[in-house]
Structure 1
Amino acid sequence: MTVVHHDGLLQKVIHSLSDHIAVLDSEGCIVFTNQAWNRFGAENRCCQESGWEGVNYLEACDEAARTGDEFGKHAAIGIAKVIRGEERFQLEYPCHSPSEKRWFLMNVVGLEHDRCRYVAISHVNITLRKLAEEHAYNLSMTDGLTGLFNRRHFDNFLSDEWKRCARLRLPLTVAMIDIDHFKLLNDSYGHQYGDQCLIKVAGVLKGYARRPSDICARYGGEEFVLVFGNCTTDMMRQELDKLMDEIRGLQLPNANAPTAGTVTVSIGVSTQYPLPRTKESIAVGEADAALYKAKQGGRNRIEFLN
């Protein structure tokens, strides 16, 4: 039988794992990290210049909790309990980047070594499972006609994005979109044609919700809504002008409409800087008020409110 030097082998095994692993002492300070932990920190600009050893991870979670991060709060409480003697703790949490959605499972396990208490933490990437769950969830949250998210999902998304922007002090922009003279279109051409117009307009709109912090939804009837996290009206003006032109470019007949002979839309836009303990309904209300002004101003136009 081959004799193996276990310490060296275990080091290689731990550093070969894709899970991000750290070991904390009884004060919550990091005493060890594997290469996956270090690599993730470097790639996401959260690495420590002098290395991770000595960094108090428990304090970092507490600091995140103080900024309103609920997952940071739960992590801090769970890790503290394991340090005090509980066997283990688990937490699933999102960790989205600007370009992709990501989820992790935090496993926290207590252990004793040389009469000292330590805590081993691993962060396991569970993105594939969460994306599959999200797909199944989205099927129940999708508008059957247009394929866009429905009102129920929109309300949940806006609530979460409002809280995120409040925590990070980021702007949030809401655009309410209404198809001009849609009732007249239905009366003139029939509801089947009206449905086809809704589908085609929705096909244009969904191309403008490109990031994890964006959403496009059917708000109700001929009304749609777009949300852009970490965006202001100034940042979105050119995009929304392009959206208007793209819908006009569909050249969908609406011959009896007084604004134009083809389908057009009116858009109301509002930017808010969410504050803790405020409601996301503010953003929708302001965008709806802007949409009303756009309609009163002749339709087929955009009205901005800040």
Structure 2
Amino acid sequence: MGHTTGQGWAGLVVSTGGERKVIGWWRRKQARERAKWPVWFDASCEAVMVLDRAGHIRYVNASLAGLLGFDDPAILSDRAIRDFCSPETLRLLGAATEATLLGELLTSSGQRRRVRFSVSEVPGQDELRWVLIRDETSQLAERQALMHSERQFRVLTEQARDVISEHAEDGRIEYVSPACYAMLGFHQSELLGKLPQDLIHPDDHAIALQTLAGLVAHPEGATLQCRLLCHNGDYLWVEIFGRAFEREAELERGFVLVTRDITSRRMAEDALRESERLRTLFDLARDEFFLVDNSGRIVDVNQHACEHMGTNRGWLVGNQFDQLIGAPGKDLSAVGLEDIYRRVSRGEAVMLEVSRTTHVGTVLQAEALFSAIRHDGRNLLLVSLRDISLRKQMEKEFRESVAALRLLHMRLFGIIEGTNDLIAALDRECRLIAYNTAFRQVFEFNYGLPVSLGMNLLASLVDQPEAMARAFTNWRRALTGETFADTQSWKAPGKGDEYFEVNYCPIRDEAGEVCGAAYIGRNITGRKVAEDQLKRALEQLEASRRETENVNQQLRQANTELLRQANQDGMTGIANRRYFDDYLAHEWRRAIRHREPMALIFADVDFFKLYNDYYGHQAGDECLRKIATALQGQLHRPGDLLARYGGEEFVILLPNTTLAGGIFIAEGMLKAISALRIPHASSSVADHVTLSLGVAATVPSEATAEGFLMYGADQALYSAKKNGRNRVFGNPI
């Protein structure tokens, strides 16, 4: 390091690797002073200056000059520090020799900068001091912004309608916003320390716990919908957004949950889905649908109605129904539709053949079915139109087919007329298209009706419902293509009842389609007589079997009654101890298989011996019956069991129930007995009969027996008595 001079100016020169470099110019006097300071301050990122005792700046580096808003550090030499400091900062700097202090500097533009001064004496030069300056303006702004953000966050948290909660790593609630009372009915203090599963509906435990456990793996957070318990015992649907975070100071994880009530939204979504589903069915139906109000005006139509009418929905809606749809001899104006509405409202089916006029004037035939509905508070008619053009065409084709079958009948007439078998043929409408003389004679003799071609065989049997139903069933089976045999009884002229084996088979056209059915009956009277004799023998055998079965049934009923008496307490009508022991063993094994919790309640009537001594044993028995009835009224699940364990002691088994659930049931029983207000003058607890109840719950396993649960409940009952009776005591085991 050296100096260079020229024309009143001097410079500080640094030699690096043999190369001389001038790093600063100043006047010679300043250069002589400047040569005293280490050259590395010029290249330092820290702001540095040297002050004398009079407060004049003897040296500044480029960093400080830039901080104050000057391009050249030399401009600041010999300037007074008071030009850049507030009076308070100047006072602190004047008194400091070896110290660190906070103050303010004024830049060339008048801006105030918050800085930290580190003051120390220059070795060997007592009149000078080093001052290291660090700009903390941005740090101060950041702290102020952080404090402002914290205030805003607290205001938002306390005023938000959503519930915001902070949880420890194990899930316990460490903070919850005041909105919990408006949403769930709980005060903040009631929720602190609780786990999420204490509030989440049991059916939603699995998905909720899985989502919360996965928050660490999803830094962007996760959302779930579940049901939360309210203070009144109800559940409401909520949407929970959660995000995990790390506590830097405590080196552990936690997570924040934002809970929003979506009960109304869920109801609206369900209603919207149902409305969309009905609208989709309405639009996609193959029939044409018209909604008509009580003035006869069309208020809505589906897509098929628009297509078949050759127009759009906007043209159809608002038109009078009777201007587009007409029925011969029927009034479809507002008055006529009102009459139809009353008829269908009473359950009457109303179907009409109508003609409809399209947008371009084309008239089409259709079948209209009317239904009464109520929509948006209005009485409406839903009119379903189905095109019957194809059906009309089919009817025409059918008539042509009948003509062909009649021709076939004439050709076969000579063949079938000469047999003694009963032969007949019907078309698909059960109209007679062929028969022989044997069939005609037997039919006319039995029914007294003349037989002729084209007659409807079923309509002729309308006065004989049983025969009509049987004939309809058989002919329908044959017309569906089935071939089968049936046995029928006919009265023959001069012979009495005779039996015929009738074979039914379908008649097919040239395309292989069923167009009718054939009836061929053969006399089997002799065989039938033998079959009847065998049938009577079998009936006698069956009667004997039924009598034996009746005796066995009576024995089973007697055994059932004996079993009921053995399992039921004779005085109270509830289960006795024997049945309870068997039921507990069975439910214990089932709970082990399904890994379900089980709760047990022991209930004892307080001072019941004194009650018997005072009121008598008959009054005591009546008291126990009332208590049993009240306790049974608190059990609403089929699997819950109330039993008399002995004397005045009752036991209640609650499968698939936790300790909290058992205590809830026990408290209800305590209130129910208290509500009976059975007088008890000898009780030191109350002026009426009271109960002490002990509750225990566990999850059965192969390593424990049911006696473990009973012992826990018995100990809980003992604690309830010991603590003053007329109370519920829970024992977690």
TM-score range, shorter chain: 0.5 to 0.7
- On the 8 A contact 2:694/2:717 being kept in 1, the answer is yes
> 2:699 maps to what in 1?
273
TM-score by length of 2: 0.24
* Cα 1:277–1:236 shift into 2, 3 Å: closer
* 1:195-231 residue CA offsets vs partner (Å, 9 max, x unmatched): 1110000001112333332110000000000010000
Counterpart Cα distance in 1 of 2:560 and 2:706: 23
SS of 2:633's equivalent in the other structure is helix
> 1:69 maps to what in 2?
none
Counterpart Cα distance in 2 of 1:188 and 1:162: 41
Structural mapping, 1:200-211, within 5 Å: 200-211=626-637
Letter in 2 for 1:206: Q
* 1:6-46 residue CA offsets vs partner (Å, 9 max, x unmatched): xxx9xxxxxxxxxxxxxxxxxxxxxxxxxxxxxxxxxxxxx
Whether 2:709 is the aligned partner of 1:302: answer no
Counterpart Cα distance in 2 of 1:157 and 1:236: 18
* Cα 1:183–1:209 shift into 2, 3 Å: same
- On the 8 A contact 2:600/2:651 being kept in 1, the answer is yes
> 2:607 maps to what in 1?
181
Letter in 2 for 1:190: G
User: Once the 2 structures are TM-superposed, how far is the Cα of residue 185 of structure 1 from its aligned partner?
Assistant: 0.4
Radius of gyration: which is bigger?
2
* Cα 1:239–1:292 shift into 2, 3 Å: same
SS of 1:163's equivalent in the other structure is helix
Counterpart Cα distance in 2 of 1:177 and 1:131: 34
> 2:625 maps to what in 1?
199
Counterpart Cα distance in 2 of 1:138 and 1:169: 31
* 1:93-139 residue CA offsets vs partner (Å, 9 max, x unmatched): xxxxxxxxxxxxxxxxxxxxxxxxxxxxxxxxxxxxx9998776333
User: Once the 2 structures are TM-superposed, how far is the Cα of residue 278 of structure 1 from its aligned partner?
Assistant: 2.6
* Cα 1:209–1:242 shift into 2, 3 Å: closer
Letter in 2 for 1:270: A
Letter in 1 for 2:594: L
Letter in 2 for 1:212: P
> 2:644 maps to what in 1?
218
* Cα 1:141–1:264 shift into 2, 3 Å: same
* 1:220-272 residue CA offsets vs partner (Å, 9 max, x unmatched): 00000001000012123333222111101111010121000100000000001
> 2:655 maps to what in 1?
229
Q: Could you say which structure has the greater relative contact order, defined with CA pairs below 8 angstroms and 6 or more residues apart? A: 1
Match of 1:253 among 650, 660, 679: 679
- On the 8 A contact 1:204/1:247 being kept in 2, the answer is yes
SS of 2:614's equivalent in the other structure is helix
Letter in 2 for 1:267: L
Letter in 1 for 2:604: D
SS of 2:729's equivalent in the other structure is strand
User: Once the 2 structures are TM-superposed, how far is the Cα of residue 140 of structure 1 from its aligned partner?
Assistant: 2.1
Counterpart Cα distance in 1 of 2:584 and 2:618: 31
SS of 1:144's equivalent in the other structure is coil
Match of 1:165 among 577, 591, 604: 591
- On the 8 A contact 1:251/1:263 being kept in 2, the answer is yes
> 1:290 maps to what in 2?
716
SS of 2:718's equivalent in the other structure is helix
Structural mapping, 1:6-25, within 5 Å: none
Counterpart Cα distance in 1 of 2:731 and 2:561: 34
Whether 2:575 is the aligned partner of 1:149: answer yes
Counterpart Cα distance in 1 of 2:559 and 2:652: 24
Counterpart Cα distance in 2 of 1:299 and 1:131: 44
- On the 8 A contact 2:696/2:731 being kept in 1, the answer is yes
Structural mapping, 1:4-43, within 5 Å: none
Counterpart Cα distance in 1 of 2:602 and 2:561: 25
Counterpart Cα distance in 1 of 2:557 and 2:603: 29
SS of 1:219's equivalent in the other structure is strand
Match of 1:238 among 653, 664, 668: 664
Counterpart Cα distance in 2 of 1:176 and 1:233: 13
What residue ranges of structure 2 are gaps of 5+ in the alignment?
A: 1-473, 483-555
- On the 8 A contact 2:662/2:697 being kept in 1, the answer is no
- On the 8 A contact 2:597/2:700 being kept in 1, the answer is yes
SS of 1:208's equivalent in the other structure is coil
Counterpart Cα distance in 2 of 1:160 and 1:134: 20
* 1:24-79 residue CA offsets vs partner (Å, 9 max, x unmatched): xxxxxxxxxxxxxxxxxxxxxxxxxxxxxxxxxxxxxxxxxxxxxxxxxxxxxxxx
Counterpart Cα distance in 2 of 1:132 and 1:168: 35
Letter in 2 for 1:220: G
Counterpart Cα distance in 1 of 2:682 and 2:626: 19
* RMSD of Structure 2 on Structure 1 (CA): 2.8
Counterpart Cα distance in 2 of 1:294 and 1:134: 39
* Cα 1:135–1:173 shift into 2, 3 Å: farther
* 1:169-199 residue CA offsets vs partner (Å, 9 max, x unmatched): 0000000000000001011111111111100
Whichever structure has more strand as a proportion of its residues is 2
Whether 2:683 is the aligned partner of 1:262: answer no
Counterpart Cα distance in 1 of 2:659 and 2:558: 34
Counterpart Cα distance in 1 of 2:560 and 2:694: 30
Counterpart Cα distance in 2 of 1:284 and 1:256: 30
- On the 8 A contact 1:172/1:271 being kept in 2, the answer is yes
Counterpart Cα distance in 2 of 1:135 and 1:166: 32
